[in-house]
Amino acid sequence: MNYCSDCGHSVSQSIPPGDNRPRHVCDRCGTIHYQNPRIIAGCLPVLGDRVLLCKRAIAPRIGYWTLPAGFMENGETTEQAAARETLEEARAQVSIGELYTVTSIIHANQVQMLYLAELKTPEFGPGEESLEVELFTEEEIPWEDLAFQTIHNALRFYFEDRRNNRFPLRHLELDTPRGKYMAC
């Protein structure tokens, strides 16, 4: 950040009184510009024994498979964001269920929240951000072509939990990118 969004003057980094971290502070009006993690909301849509995945048409990880998810917008709940992202990316209507995974993606300053969801109908297709959208059984999941570690984790948990018929909330932390996977 170079300029204040309030007055347009230059900013510098300093630790404001009563704070403990460097922040961008306007040199003229004193406005403190906080930069906080972004929320990613999505879901794990299920129809019978199959999970709906989207092949990404946008960076990062074009051509790799993911669950429908994206950045939350102002004025919506995380559940609404998850349903909206599913409609946008997979043209699918879902019933949002319980919160399933919360992942702090520290290196990317993001928090991903994935909900369990049921497809309302077997109707879906690629939206603007997807090349393809398909339903997969556990055996058909393209494990080597998943876009993100968070998606790999959620799918592994889901199939394990489905066998036990118990779906606990999972809290996870990713501090650095792992292998080919990146944060969302």
How many other CB atoms are found less than 10 A from the CB of residue 7?
14
Residuewise pLDDT in 10s, the chain (184 residues)? 999 999 999 999 999 999 999 999 999 999 999 999 999 999 999 999 999 999 999 999 999 999 999 999 999 999 999 999 999 999 999 999 999 999 999 999 999 999 999 999 999 999 999 999 999 999 999 999 999 999 999 999 999 999 999 999 999 999 876 544 444 4
Helix and strand numbers, DSSP H then E, in the chain: 2, 11
pTM given for the model: 0.89
In what helix (H) or strand (E) does residue 152 lie, and over which residues does it extend?
A: helix 149-164
How many other CB atoms are found less than 10 A from the CB of residue 152?
19
Q: How long a stretch of residues is the chain? A: 184
CA 122/CA 136 separation, integer angstroms: 13
